[in-house]
Structure 1
Amino acid sequence: MPLRKILVPIRELSESGKLSGLLLLLATVVSLLVSNSVLGPNYLHFWETPLGWAPLQKTLAHWVDDGLMVVFFFSVGLEIKREVLYGELTDVRQALLPILAAVGGVAVPAGIYLAFNAGTATGHGWAVPTATDIAFSLGILSLLGEKVPPGLRVFLTALAIIDDLIAVLIIALFYTQGLDLTYLLAAGGIMAVLVLLNRLRVTWLPLYFLLGLALWFFVLKSGIHATIAGVLLALTIPTDAIEKLEAALHKPISYLILPVFALANTAIVVSAGAVSELLSPLGLGVALGLLLGKPLGIFGATWLTVKAGISALPERVTWFKMLGLGLTAGIGFTMAIFIANLSFHDPGRVDVAKLAVILGSLLAALAGLFVLHLADKADDSEAPVGPTESEIEV
């Protein structure tokens, strides 16, 4: 009976989508606490443990970023393909609203960051505040339950998927260092074989995964970030297998891969110097990019798109709720921390960027919850009391 009292709430949290976000939050808090305790030096050393052998010897933290996270990006690729084929992004006109909102939600945070850092040694980190963490953002919406109209949740999902696609392109185009043509050509050859298998309607998934492993190796050695291989492989997976794979990967990614990523990437010693650096151009650029840039970019692009008559707001979604959604999209976390790792070589700058991501994401989450709660209250106060004219029988 006591065990049942523990398991039932956990199952309810899992079914509501809240558990994955809570696990990420818990992993972050645990990692920060351990890093700043007497166990800190051993904990930091643990993530620097070398594993593997030449030509694949990396630290444990690098294996998480270059290995485990490939599975996460593979699921992102599957989601993008599904949405384009028969989801929210199938109809171009319907897809334009989240597409343009996502573009605005990338451009404005990048602009805010560059306003603080352009022309400096930290300017290369402009992409850190441009990403939205779909797990955390949807988790925040789920806390409000039925107060959030379905149209708002669908809009945020589509926006976050497009946001992830933009992040993948940014990583491929701007965070690739020193291309090796031989490995790049080998990766291109593997990709061509995968596309051919898809066109020939080959459905044996082990063959795709075996070739995908080779694709990952060649992409990794080519100088392009290894996670791109996960997205490329996903785009060649037979359509009939997409939903089955997404369902199979959901729990391992939500309850293992992303929490482990959070543990490995928030192992930060929070010194007085690091906290003071949150007010540096780097810290302010990241935190304000997420907290202000995301809602300004998303809300502004949505407003212009609707006013131009290109698209309409989703059903039961008000401008007040759209502002709350924009704030919620400022939760960068997973992808933002990932890009921070790619942006800087100096560990001190990486730590400052990560702390700023955590702070900006936390403030964005709280502000989003507050605005969406007020928006729901405003809707309730405007709702008609008693029967409407159409409900009164003459």
Structure 2
Amino acid sequence: MKLLRSARFPAILLLIAAAAGLIIANSPVGHDVLEFSHAHLAVPGTAIDLSLTHWVSDGLLVFFFFVVSVELQFELTRGELRSARRALQPALAAAGGVIVPIAIYLVLTAGSGFQKGWPVPTATDIAFALGVLAVFGRSLPSGVRIFLLALAIIDDVVGIVFIAVLFATDLNFGMLAAGLLTTVLFGILSRMLHTRVRGLVIAGLVVLAVLTWSFILLSGVHATIAGVLLGLAMAQTPALVTRHAMEPWVNAVVLPLFAFTAALVPIPDFSGPGQAVFWGILIALPVGKIVGIAGFGWIGQRLVGSPDHPKLALGDLVAVGALGGIGFTVSLLLANLAFAAEPVVRDKAVLGVLAGSVISAIVAAILLTARVRHHRRAGTAVEEPAA
């Protein structure tokens, strides 16, 4: 379990799972595996009927978003985002890391008819980015990791908003209201875990969580939002305990399975439609994130800097920007949502995410290694034990 809680190993698992999905999809058994992934599995007596792929992206991925939202709740109340002043610098950097990739994507896809994919290159994969940082930047000052974590959490909030607002379809307000009601009841019940009927409370929480997911799914809002709502609603102490218990399973099962199914795409004919989507995402992720995060972060430090938060050197900001270009999990989800009705274009978008994320990871590794050497020469490196 300790290995699965480390920053490095989950990132390696994600990369292996995505590579396996891409290789299998383009192997002799690829067609059969794709057919199997599209097989439907319904819940008897309900309107829930999802393909196996959607059971992963709409079902299992909820656990990942729950873990992320619990971390967000902690950061907003007791962590680096607990005050506007603390949050402003990473928020400005995150804004740059969203605005610049969108601008690059829109320029590169102008006139193609596929501009709707602009949210895809805006995301940062926390697990993958921290994994690369742990491998190549372990000796960097702690401020670099704190800044990256705060930025990535804000970035995830943006991604969550995009998923909730842009990709809601045929809204059923009755189901949405029911989901919000069960979320409130879940939050109230989570504050009763200290009572003598703890077992009954836990059972009630499980039932309410399943109901919330079901209602949100049937409301037309993407089901992963249920994980966000439940993570924010749960009382903080039991939420942190639950997050700690779920983290190894999310890292070992949920994220690799999603990476595998999301990357399960045959390499398309690039002479067809969607070339601009591939290149737009491929360039917007590494270039857009580096320019946006480093540029806006540098400006933010000079506009709202404080003695409590030492300024990061521009070189460190550029390295963080490269890490921000590792879109992976949320970007893959956004790619699948943005082009759900156009499988060929969706596949090119997925390949763009994978290629852009790998390029960002390689660039980040090079920059982090250089920054570690710089800080060692300057005497500002901090040697930490291996994760």
> TM-score, normalised on structure 2?
0.90
Question: Whose Rg is larger?
Answer: 1
Contact 1:278/1:352 (8 A) holds in 2: no
Q: 1:145, 1:14 → 2: CA distance?
A: 19
Contact 1:295/1:327 (8 A) holds in 2: yes
SS of 1:146's equivalent in the other structure is coil
Q: CA deviation at 1:15?
A: 5.8
Matched, 1:194 2:191: no
Larger displacement relative to structure 2 (213-222 or 90-99): 90-99
Larger displacement relative to structure 2 (217-226 or 375-384): 375-384
Counterpart code for 2:141 = P
From the superposition, tell whether residues 302 and 145 of structure 1 become closer, same or farther in structure 2 (CA, over 3 Å). closer
Other-structure match for 1:40? 30
Q: CA deviation at 1:186?
A: 2.0
From the superposition, tell whether residues 85 and 383 of structure 1 become closer, same or farther in structure 2 (CA, over 3 Å). closer
Other-structure match for 2:344? 348
Larger displacement relative to structure 2 (333-342 or 177-186): 177-186
1:237 to 234, 238, 242: 234
Percentage of identical aligned residues: 35
Q: 1:313, 1:331 → 2: CA distance?
A: 29
Other-structure match for 1:64? 56
1:91 to 78, 83, 87: 83
Q: 1:332, 1:300 → 2: CA distance?
A: 19
Q: Deviations over 1:283-339 (max 9, x none)?
A: 121111101111111111111111224457955842111101101110001100000
Counterpart code for 2:369 = H
Aligned-residue Cα RMSD (Å) equals 2.2
Contact 2:17/2:256 (8 A) holds in 1: yes
Matched, 1:107 2:104: no
1:51 to 41, 45, 54: 41
Q: 2:81, 2:228 → 1: CA distance?
A: 17
Q: 1:65, 1:227 → 2: CA distance?
A: 8
Other-structure match for 1:390? none
From the superposition, tell whether residues 331 and 154 of structure 1 become closer, same or farther in structure 2 (CA, over 3 Å). same
Counterpart code for 1:182 = G
SS of 2:113's equivalent in the other structure is coil
Other-structure match for 1:136? 128
Q: Deviations over 1:102-160 (max 9, x none)?
A: 12111111111112235643111110000001111011011125322211111111111
Q: Deviations over 1:349-374 (max 9, x none)?
A: 11000100011111111111111222
Counterpart code for 1:270 = I
From the superposition, tell whether residues 15 and 185 of structure 1 become closer, same or farther in structure 2 (CA, over 3 Å). closer
Q: CA deviation at 1:375?
A: 2.2
Counterpart code for 1:27 = A
Alignment of 1:1-394 (within 5 A): 14=4, 16-53=6-43, 55-118=47-110, 120-197=112-189, 201-203=191-193, 204-271=201-268, 273-274=269-270, 280-311=275-306, 315=310, 317-344=312-339, 345-383=341-379
Q: CA deviation at 1:16?
A: 4.1
Q: 2:336, 2:168 → 1: CA distance?
A: 13
Q: CA deviation at 1:382?
A: 4.4
From the superposition, tell whether residues 316 and 361 of structure 1 become closer, same or farther in structure 2 (CA, over 3 Å). same
Counterpart code for 1:347 = P
Larger displacement relative to structure 2 (303-312 or 179-188): 303-312
Q: 2:359, 2:28 → 1: CA distance?
A: 29
Larger displacement relative to structure 2 (127-136 or 15-24): 15-24
> TM-score, normalised on structure 1?
0.88
SS of 2:50's equivalent in the other structure is strand
Q: Deviations over 1:40-89 (max 9, x none)?
A: 11111121111124511111001101100111111111111111111111
SS of 2:169's equivalent in the other structure is coil
Q: Which runs of 4+ in 1 moved over 6 A?
A: none
Counterpart code for 1:165 = V
Unaligned runs of 5+ in 2: 194-200, 381-387
Counterpart code for 1:225 = H
Contact 2:121/2:284 (8 A) holds in 1: yes
Q: 2:337, 2:275 → 1: CA distance?
A: 20
Unaligned runs of 5+ in 1: 1-10, 385-394
Contact 1:149/1:316 (8 A) holds in 2: no
Q: Deviations over 1:163-222 (max 9, x none)?
A: 111111111111111111221222233234335446xx3233432331121111111111
From the superposition, tell whether residues 279 and 161 of structure 1 become closer, same or farther in structure 2 (CA, over 3 Å). same
Counterpart code for 1:375 = R
Contact 2:14/2:255 (8 A) holds in 1: yes
